[in-house]
Structure 1
Amino acid sequence: MIKPSKSTLSVKTTFKKPPVPEGERLSKHVAHLVPCSRREAEQYIEGGWVRVNGQVVEEPMARVLDQVVQIDPQASLMGLSDVTLLLNKPAGFDSMAAPGEAGKRLKPAHQLLQSTNHWAQDPSGVRQLKRHLARLTACVPLELAATGLVVFTQDWRVLRKLTEDAAFMEHEFLVEVAGEVSPDMLQRMNTGLNHQGQALPPVKVSINSTSGATTRLRVAIKGAHPGLIAYLCERVDLHINSMKRLRIGRVALSNLPEGQWRYLQEGERF
């Protein structure tokens, strides 16, 4: 009787699973449906005009197998312009830091630009898309402890305007200080401004409102000059309780809630 060898006994039969079909890239599928070029198909998808099984999909790289793909009858490539976002920055957030710089001691204001923080009463009427929250550039600095209007844009024209015309664009602040502000203090804050022999940018300081314990000042300055308002208050022995930027050029913060953002409207110009 012949006994099977050890090698024969150890052999096991294995079966390879058939490869799972990966499907077709959504952009290619849409290009066939429309029909259109692959680039145009990507724009339809990024524009939020394509639904897969009833759900909007904005990623051209997504793959479809047997799902139902539909193109919105109102689909258009005309509205894919770059956007500008206005954020009401809370205190403690860095207006110019990049998202990748976040850490224990640094909180970029950029990280607040999420869909959940989009102001529900945004008057722009712009359809929010994922592409609107990418490639955003911070434009104008604001003190870490201050709140108020900061700007992020994808639009090179807006970036150029805020950069090239920075020295001529007026910024308006509401500054609350402790105590009363006398006429003499107000005059000293408005005239003869210099620091270490260097002339400072002209400012316009006026009293907005006052109570027994605090005074609210309106401060208008040409250009962004972090630290200037603090210097003006220090030279007349005023302690700042809070500071909020209300306006940059002709664009105002208005009723935008703190920590939320909205789109720059079509008719708004800095």
Structure 2
Amino acid sequence: MSDSAALPRLSKLMAERGLCSRREADSYIERGWVKVDGEVATLGLRVSPDARIELLAQARGAQQERVTILLHKPVGYVSGQAEKGYQPAVSLILPERRWGGDTAPLRFQREHLRGLAPAGRLDIDSTGLLVLTQDGRVAKTLIGEDSGVEKEYLVRVAGKLSAEGLAKLNHGLSLDGQPLRPAKVWWQNDDQLRFVLREGKKRQIRRMCDLVGLRVLGLKRIRIGKLMLGDLPQGQWRYLAPGERFD
């Protein structure tokens, strides 16, 4: 194996640095919109991990045109592709469903739906904040392997929870044979818990509650990173405004 073959691909390194997604990186490289150490890069190029990578103006412009949407997902919609007769959440992104309180200086365009994908799951029987994005940087921030962005939930439950059970919800449970990261869980009121997680396994909160003898009656996500669901009405959406960040 040659020395260069052991080096990372440019697209992988760009994604790891949070410049864009790997798919976007390949597109930009193919168009000649990326320079490495001052030279225009070619597709499939392998580079040193400390290489100087520059996105040209065309790539930066393409990124600025990509939108991120915050949706208050109702129960009965799936986060991703349509399944079992249920509509995907993206079907709610219609101009008439845009929240009147949206302050982002964007006019809705059909192009904003192209490649729009959920950055994280919200179960069909759950409601609350769902992020849909065209931007690979946002997706990496929220669902990348090393993402530590907090997600906060209000969870209405039935059953008795001991002090030991509450302690286990905070730290000490495992799912799918793997220990869960420490969480923050406390009573919000008599029948509702507040969960703050830094990971998102499938149906994680419902399965955690099962393990300590609780049944989930309702689940609502109210925060992702720095952004709150706030006054966004159920079934409506808004754009991520300039200057807003999740981390």
Give the aligned partner of residue 201 of structure 1.
181
Give the aligned partner of residue 28 of structure 1.
none
Residue identity in the other structure for 2:75: A
The answer to whether 1:90 aligns with 2:74 is: yes
The answer to whether 1:237 aligns with 2:213 is: yes
The answer to whether 1:265 aligns with 2:245 is: no
Between the two proteins, what is the percent identity of the paired residues? 39
Residue of 158, 168, 184 corresponding to 2:138: 158
Shift in CA distance, 163/188, structure 1 to aligned 2, threshold 3 Å: closer
Residue identity in the other structure for 2:69: L
> Aligned partners of 2:105, 2:132: CA distance in 1, in Å?
18
Which range moves more in the overlay, 258-267 or 157-166? 157-166
Instruction: Give how far 1:91 is off.
Output: 1.1
Shift in CA distance, 103/143, structure 1 to aligned 2, threshold 3 Å: closer
Which range moves more in the overlay, 231-240 or 122-131? 122-131
Correspondences of 1:169-180 after superposition (within 5 Å): 169-178=149-158
> Aligned partners of 1:167, 1:117: CA distance in 2, in Å?
30
Shift in CA distance, 181/163, structure 1 to aligned 2, threshold 3 Å: closer
Counterpart of 1:259 in 2: which secondary structure?
coil
> Aligned partners of 1:142, 1:166: CA distance in 2, in Å?
20
Query: In 2, are the aligned partners of 1:92 and 1:145 still within 8 Å (CA)?
Result: yes
The answer to whether 1:220 aligns with 2:196 is: yes
Instruction: Give how far 1:124 is off.
Output: 2.3
- For the pair shown, the structure with the greater C-alpha radius of gyration is 1
Shift in CA distance, 113/187, structure 1 to aligned 2, threshold 3 Å: same
Residue of 82, 87, 96 corresponding to 1:107: 87
Instruction: Give how far 1:193 is off.
Output: 1.4
The answer to whether 1:127 aligns with 2:107 is: yes
Counterpart of 2:65 in 1: which secondary structure?
coil
> Aligned partners of 1:179, 1:125: CA distance in 2, in Å?
47
CA RMSD of aligned residues (A): 2.5
Q: Paired residues, what number?
A: 186
Instruction: Give how far 1:232 is off.
Output: 1.6
In structure 2, stretches of 5+ residues that fail to align are 1-60
Tell me the alpha carbon deviations over residues 194-234 of structure 1, each in whole angstroms, 9 at most, x when there is no partner: 24653122211111122xxxx11110111222222112211
Give the aligned partner of residue 68 of structure 1.
none
> Aligned partners of 2:146, 2:230: CA distance in 1, in Å?
21
> Aligned partners of 1:158, 1:196: CA distance in 2, in Å?
27
Instruction: Give how far 1:165 is off.
Output: 5.7
Tell me the alpha carbon deviations over residues 168-201 of structure 1, each in whole angstroms, 9 at most, x when there is no partner: 1111111011256443431232232124653122
> Aligned partners of 1:132, 1:165: CA distance in 2, in Å?
26
The answer to whether 1:247 aligns with 2:223 is: yes
Query: In 1, are the aligned partners of 2:161 and 2:212 still within 8 Å (CA)?
Result: no
Query: In 2, are the aligned partners of 1:193 and 1:202 still within 8 Å (CA)?
Result: no
Residue identity in the other structure for 2:233: P
Normalised to the residue count of structure 1, the TM-score between the two structures is 0.62
Give the aligned partner of residue 118 of structure 1.
98
> Aligned partners of 1:151, 1:241: CA distance in 2, in Å?
23
Tell me the alpha carbon deviations over residues 116-168 of structure 1, each in whole angstroms, 9 at most, x when there is no partner: 11111113243333332333122211112111111111223223323436641
